[in-house]
Structure 1
Amino acid sequence: MIEDKVNNSYRISYLISQFLNGNIEDDELKELQRWENLSSNNKKLVEELKDSECLEDRDHRIDRINLESEWLRFSNKVKYKRITLQKRVIRMAQYAAILLLPLSIVYLVFHMGTVKKSPASCAPCEITPGKHCAQLVLSNGKVLQLGSCKGSIKEQDGTIITTDSAIVFYKRNEDEKVEGLIYNEIRVVQGQEYHMRLADGTQVWINSMSSIKFPVHFSEGKREVEITGEVYFEVMPNKEKPFIVHTPIHDVRVLGTSFNISCYENDASVTTTLVEGKVLIENIPGELSPAQLTPNLQYNYHKSLHKASIEEVDAIAYAAWTKGYFQFENETLEQIFKKLERWYKIDVLYKSTSSRKEVFNGRLPRFENASTIMEMIEEVSNVKISLKDNLVVIE
């Protein structure tokens, strides 16, 4: 899909920029090297970018590009919601169009700094985005730091746990039999996210300030996990063994599907958004029968009202965080900054009550520094944002 190509181009441009600036992490360097090895053209591009003369020539050629016409070409080609916030900032949309040009894969990350600086970008200490990290709590209570350690661990029942910089996955040893289930837990704190694969092959993405408790291998009859915060699932199909997610409010039962659950304690509602397949919402407080969801439906349980509602949404938007983006669908500035607080480890102070309620639609890159995100929001809103240390002041 064209959208996937845009996402991939943005990611690669970010990695190249980090490499050339000397800020690349070990796992990011490996990811970039894997991309280089995919083709000779990829290797050639990276080599050219290491050459200052070649880079200067490339920069002059980029400056001659007619951004307006390229954006029109991009708009006609992509049948997808424009990558803008609600007030249609054409400059940001032009950046998205540039990503499709073979000439300038790294244009966005190199030229982001040419934007006129606002107070938000003048903070003396830059706030960087979150990382792929987590804590793994084993059945014996031992805690491992994921993202920094690599290797394999054997649990008490013989299950092999393999850890890497970006993922942990489980594989059961069928030769060893242990009665009962053995549980592990993954905890993701503020400013982190993590990806894992359960023993049945189910893929799980855990967002900031979230957790998942799960058996290292599942029983014969069903697969059950417990979560807090926000978690995205791609469940391995198994008609004989339904997959059940327990949240603090209700349960979600599936056979094989992709969906996002957000159940943060300090949010007003618990939401389940279905991307593919079919799910049942069960054990709902005050409800006798379960609610069924089909793709692009979202189930909202409003905690203070003790009432539920189902509405049609763009489900992909609610999984965008697993692809490296924040995507907002009719969300207030206050709702948006709740997500930014969790990811950037910031505190937010509102000097204007009205600013909290300003509504946005659109997409922002998840792996940009906080000051860049604040600049983008400032340019399409009526608010002024200042950023100092870890405090964001909005007026």
Structure 2
Amino acid sequence: MSTSTDHEKLLQRYLDGHITPEEATELMEWLLQTGAHRQVLQRMQGEFRELVAERPEIDPAVSQRMETRLLESIRATRVRRLPVSRWAAAAAILVLLGAGGLYFLTRPSIPKQTIVQVNPVSPADIAPGSDKAELTLADGSVVTLDSAGNQVIRQGETLVRQQNGQLLYSNGTQPAVGYNTLTVPRGGQFQIVLPDGSRVWLNSTSRLRFPTAFHDGRRIVELEGQGYFDVSPDAQRPFIVHTRAANVEVLGTGFDVMAYPDEKTMNTTLVEGAVKVKDVKLKPGQQARVEHATGTITVAPADVPQVIAWKTGFFEFDNADIEDILRQAARWYDVDVTYRGKPGDLRIGGRISRNLPLSELLKMLEANGAKFSLEGRNLIVL
């Protein structure tokens, strides 16, 4: 049986570039074990921040996603004191978050599968989504956005800067306020910093309508699709997210809103702070579900890391049915799904990187009993 010292040696071998695929698999499984190594991961977080501070060339958005993923691992484990070196911490982070990495845990009856590295996307495969969107300005003109673009858009006294897959608004002083709409297509995602400093991550097939400045007593935006909100505190100006099913009102908090029209419910999941959904106040870790058909609201505990996994670059499922999984896949990979057969009562749990091509996701689903055929961008369930 491997000891903690053995795994520390594996950490160093990974950093040195000498680790084998089998050793990398063992290392990842050890780091993500439930019920162990929490203090190791906590120290890794501190070391990670120091290392990133010394490496200014690392994209801040990338480092933020990496640390978020690390924190999820910390929260999922229990306390056990084990030493770990500074460079071993860096190696562990690379194992946890390496490009193309995949960690997929099925039901107990199905063996665990781990893929550390994959080959580039083949011409016949479908690549994952990327940072892309369209910004419709108040005058009706449309600006195309992507991860590579850097530009400045002027609207009166309001300046909008596009930098590395996100938009940053300055809060203009002009009394006249226009409305912009950020539309993320299938196969896309995008970030925006609103005029008040609030940050929004938009998932694929989502739309956010917002003013170019917040001047009155409330900050109101409209959402269709899915967005994660990190709202700037302002007790004098409540922040309201308007959806077709309900309004979400906050003062300053982090929360996820999933309001796709093809889902049965609009879900609001509170990460920190406090929000109200249809006058029902949530506590951190709770989720409110509003049925589109009836308007009925229910509140229950939420698996927060699972809900916000999309924001940090993962699909995560817990006893999910195949149709739910394929709706998410259709949005991210920009494919249509056709059912020629009934998938049956197939339930799947696991986590898989959204940076992988579609074929890798399908392999995981097929290992659990699903069958598919891909014709162009039409995914057929057999």
TM-score category (smaller protein): 0.7 to 0.9
Q: Deviations over 1:15-42 (max 9, x none)?
A: xxxxxxxxxxxxxxxxxxxxxxxxxx9x
Aligned-partner residue type, residue 364 of structure 1: I
Which sections of structure 1, spanning at least 5 residues, go unmatched? 1-40, 49-54, 96-107, 115-120, 283-289
Aligned to 1:65, the other structure's residue is in SS state helix
Aligned to 2:113, the other structure's residue is in SS state helix
Equivalent residue for 1:77? 37
Equivalent residue for 1:317? 306
Equivalent residue for 1:33? none
* Deviation of the 1:88 alpha carbon: 6.8
- In structure 2, distance between residues paired with 1:376 and 1:113: 16
Q: Are residues 375 and 87 of structure 1, via their aligned partners in 2, closer, same or farther at CA, if it must alter by over 3 Å?
A: farther
Q: Which TM-score applies when normalising by structure 1?
A: 0.71
Q: Are residues 308 and 387 of structure 1, via their aligned partners in 2, closer, same or farther at CA, if it must alter by over 3 Å?
A: same
* Deviation of the 1:321 alpha carbon: 0.6
- In structure 2, distance between residues paired with 1:68 and 1:340: 29
Q: Deviations over 1:251-306 (max 9, x none)?
A: 11000011111111111111111111110113xxxxxxx11111111111112243
Alignment of structure 1 residues 1-395 onto 2, 5 Å: 58=18, 61-62=19-20, 65=23, 67-68=25-26, 71-72=29-30, 74-75=32-33, 76-77=36-37, 80=76, 83-87=104-108, 90-93=111-114, 95=115, 108-109=116-117, 112=118, 125-147=124-146, 149-156=149-156, 158-173=157-172, 177-282=173-278, 290-353=279-342, 355-379=343-367, 381-395=368-382
- In structure 1, distance between residues paired with 2:108 and 2:340: 23
Equivalent residue for 2:86? none
Equivalent residue for 1:38? none
Equivalent residue for 2:67? none
- Write 1 or 2 for the structure with the bigger share of helix: 1
Q: Are residues 124 and 217 of structure 1, via their aligned partners in 2, closer, same or farther at CA, if it must alter by over 3 Å?
A: closer
* Deviation of the 1:126 alpha carbon: 1.2
Percent identity over the alignment is 28
Q: Are residues 364 and 356 of structure 1, via their aligned partners in 2, closer, same or farther at CA, if it must alter by over 3 Å?
A: farther
Q: Are residues 87 and 275 of structure 1, via their aligned partners in 2, closer, same or farther at CA, if it must alter by over 3 Å?
A: same
Q: Are residues 278 and 64 of structure 1, via their aligned partners in 2, closer, same or farther at CA, if it must alter by over 3 Å?
A: closer
* Deviation of the 1:71 alpha carbon: 2.9
Which sections of structure 2, spanning at least 5 residues, go unmatched? 1-11, 39-73, 78-102
- In structure 2, distance between residues paired with 1:146 and 1:66: 37
Q: Are residues 356 and 301 of structure 1, via their aligned partners in 2, closer, same or farther at CA, if it must alter by over 3 Å?
A: farther
- In structure 2, distance between residues paired with 1:247 and 1:238: 21
C-alpha contact 1:261 1:272 (8 A) present in aligned 2: yes
Q: Are residues 338 and 356 of structure 1, via their aligned partners in 2, closer, same or farther at CA, if it must alter by over 3 Å?
A: farther
Q: Which TM-score applies when normalising by structure 2?
A: 0.73
Q: Are residues 125 and 83 of structure 1, via their aligned partners in 2, closer, same or farther at CA, if it must alter by over 3 Å?
A: closer
C-alpha contact 1:295 1:315 (8 A) present in aligned 2: no
- In structure 2, distance between residues paired with 1:71 and 1:131: 28
Q: Deviations over 1:156-200 (max 9, x none)?
A: 2x0111012311100124xxx422322111011111110010111
Aligned to 2:128, the other structure's residue is in SS state coil
Aligned-partner residue type, residue 135 of structure 1: E
Aligned to 1:357, the other structure's residue is in SS state coil
Aligned length: 306
C-alpha contact 1:125 1:388 (8 A) present in aligned 2: no
- In structure 1, distance between residues paired with 2:260 and 2:22: 48
C-alpha contact 1:169 1:197 (8 A) present in aligned 2: yes
Equivalent residue for 2:65? none
